[in-house]
């Protein structure tokens, strides 16, 4: 902003320590060929919007060759592009054009499992019991499943073949788990890393980064672990996840990345214990670890403050950089979590200012800057394997993956040249389009653009430590030590006085100089 003191960013190449990443769920961002599914050329066509928004880097969900049993997280070839999304030439062009605009590109890495259509798994099926090909996965003989492990998607984590062997899949049966004790698996991931790094990617988001390593004896789960639990739950007593041997995998990944200057990796780490979490971001492992504590926190000042303190404590134990996020493709969007309609939107605006005021790295999810809610889809439209595998006890994640609305008054709102999008778009979404919000100073999009510009340019956002003020019940206020930014949040039912200082930005207008309920303010 004109007249703002400028932030001095680190000059040591560690750009990720302060970056704002933007997660693109590729199927749902922009469709270039009118088949109703988003693709890489669609992303290219919207790079100008992303530059205008003010993000620093992209995270692209899987676009690799896949039969799409889990919409790309079942990878058949990790070193090629699925035709539904484009081809390698398109990907190369996307990276080049993003870099020209100053936007870095990071991509998903799925090392825990492959597709059942991967050449390794089809070879294992053909080779038969006891073969070297089966040692790349977890195959076990017997009349019954080898243990009581359950799939995160519901049901048993074991499926039996006609020849009598069982194979392990912590997710869908179409996603067999790899055996990381097999050197072929290690060598193949290194080849994949170098393949994409040589094409110019700036880093990776590692799916299920607390997975991969399995105890050699494959012991039973504790009976207190609920059916379908795992990646979204505490796994302190769960042998499927967070085993010590997984850290050798991350050390290998880090060694590869260290040979490519200014590249990074962030892990999806659903580990609640601070000390266990900190192990993943030691200096020789991951650069960043996804922190889901704000995702899990209710809209309550005490709950949010606890989440912030716990997050900072966990990363400080390892000397790492904190990360913050409110939504992603696996959870209910935060607008919906915080309340219905206008209440949810108002609280989401407040939490956006809280998140962007914190030191460290921020991950946004496509569409959150438009205030998109999670949609209650009809049963006929649901595609998520969680819905199919849970016996219809869970509605799955599709409601948070609806395509992004860009312009116009009716579906597909400029997302595609067809109205038949891969997930149906609501008839009442015209007010959420980029077109409708771009010139509206009071819109959610304008709030994000203003906040991101201040975060990037104003010197008040310097400093890596937070100190807390005293505050009324239902409220908090903290200051960025170093830069001096103050952020205050009011989750109470009444207006409260704001801390002293010059107001930079509010999520909702002040009332007689006071911060109204369900609102946040930035001051210097």
Identify the H or E element spanning 89.
helix 88-100
Q: How many Cβ atoms from other residues are within 10 Å of residue 170's Cβ?
A: 23
On whether the CB atoms of residues 188 and 153 are closer than 8 A, the answer is no
Q: How many Cβ atoms from other residues are within 10 Å of residue 283's Cβ?
A: 9
Concerning whether 56 is annotated as a catalytic residue, the answer is: no
Instruction: Return d(Cα 510, Cα 303) in angstroms, integer.
Output: 24
Structure tokens at 382: 């649901």
Instruction: Return d(Cα 54, Cα 46) in angstroms, integer.
Output: 13
Residue 385 to residues 378, 388, 511, Cα–Cα distance (Å): 15, 5, 47
Instruction: Return d(Cα 282, Cα 276) in angstroms, integer.
Output: 11
Q: How many Cβ atoms from other residues are within 10 Å of residue 37's Cβ?
A: 23
Of the candidates 216, 229, 258, 124, the one whose C-alpha atom is nearest the C-alpha of residue 170 is 229
Q: Which of 74, 268, 285, 369 is catalytic?
A: 268
Q: Which of 133, 177, 202, 207 is catalytic?
A: 207
Q: How many Cβ atoms from other residues are within 10 Å of residue 163's Cβ?
A: 10
Residues 6+ apart with CB under 8 A from 384: 396, 397, 398
Q: How many Cβ atoms from other residues are within 10 Å of residue 155's Cβ?
A: 16
On whether the CB atoms of residues 358 and 524 are closer than 8 A, the answer is no
CA dihedral 220→225→231→237, nearest 10 degrees, is -60
Concerning whether 268 is annotated as a catalytic residue, the answer is: yes
On whether the CB atoms of residues 199 and 94 are closer than 8 A, the answer is no
Q: What is the 3-state secondary structure (H, E, C) of 444-460?
A: HHHHHHHHHHHHHHEHH
Identify the H or E element spanning 24.
strand 20-24
**Active site residue ranges:** 207, 268
């Amino acid at each position: 902003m004109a007249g703002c003191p400028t932030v001095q960013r680190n000059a040591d190449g560690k750009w990720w320590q302060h970056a704002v990443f933007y997660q693109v769920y590729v199927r749902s961002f922009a469709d270039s060929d009118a088949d109703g599914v988003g693709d890489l050329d669609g992303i290219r066509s919207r790079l100008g919007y992303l530059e205008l928004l003010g993000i620093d880097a992209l995270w692209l969900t899987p676009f690799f060759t896949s039969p799409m049993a889990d919409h790309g997280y079942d990878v058949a070839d990790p070193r090629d592009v699925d035709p539904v999304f484009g081809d390698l030439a398109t990907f190369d062009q996307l990276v080049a054009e993003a870099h020209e605009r100053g936007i870095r590109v990071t991509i998903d890495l799925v090392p825990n499992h492959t597709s059942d259509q991967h050449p390794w798994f089809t070879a294992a099926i053909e080779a038969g019991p006891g073969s070297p090909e089966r040692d790349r996965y977890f195959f076990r003989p017997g009349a019954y499943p080898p243990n009581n492990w359950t799939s995160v998607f519901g049901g048993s984590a074991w499926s039996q073949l006609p020849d009598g062997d069982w194979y392990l899949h912590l997710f869908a049966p179409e996603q067999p788990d790899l055996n990381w004790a097999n050197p072929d698996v290690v060598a193949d991931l290194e080849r994949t890393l170098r393949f994409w790094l040589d094409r110019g990617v700036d880093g990776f988001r590692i799916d299920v980064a607390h997975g991969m390593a399995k105890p050699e004896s494959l012991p039973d789960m504790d009976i207190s672990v609920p059916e379908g639990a795992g990646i979204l739950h505490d796994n302190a007593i769960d042998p499927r996840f967070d085993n010590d041997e997984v850290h050798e995998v991350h050390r290998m990944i880090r060694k590869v990345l260290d040979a490519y200057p200014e590249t990074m990796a962030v892990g999806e780490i659903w580990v609640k214990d601070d000390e266990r979490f900190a192990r993943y971001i030691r200096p020789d492992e991951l650069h960043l670890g996804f922190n889901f504590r704000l995702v899990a926190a209710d809209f309550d000042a005490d709950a949010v403050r606890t989440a912030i303190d716990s997050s900072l404590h966990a990363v400080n134990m390892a000397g790492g950089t904190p990360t913050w996020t409110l939504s992603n493709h696996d959870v209910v969007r935060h607008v919906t979590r915080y309340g219905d309609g206008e209440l949810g939107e108002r609280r989401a605006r407040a939490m956006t200012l809280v998140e962007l005021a914190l030191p460290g790295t921020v991950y946004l999810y496509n569409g959150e800057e438009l205030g998109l809610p999670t949609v209650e889809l009809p049963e006929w439209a649901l595609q998520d394997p969680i819905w199919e595998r849970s016996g219809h006890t869970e509605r799955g994640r599709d409601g948070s993956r609806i395509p992004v609305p860009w312009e116009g008054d009716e579906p597909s709102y400029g997302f595609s040249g067809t109205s038949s999008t891969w997930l149906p778009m609501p008839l009442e979404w015209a007010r959420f389009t980029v077109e409708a919000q771009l010139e509206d100073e009071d819109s959610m999009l304008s709030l994000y653009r203003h906040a991101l510009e201040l975060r990037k340019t104003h010197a008040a956002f310097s400093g890596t430590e937070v100190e807390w003020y005293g505050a009324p019940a239902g409220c908090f206020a903290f200051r960025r030590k170093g830069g001096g930014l103050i952020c205050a949040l009011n989750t109470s039912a009444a207006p409260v006085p704001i801390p002293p200082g010059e107001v930079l930005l509010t999520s909702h207008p002040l009332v007689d100089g006071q911060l109204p309920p369900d609102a946040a303010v930035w001051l210097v």
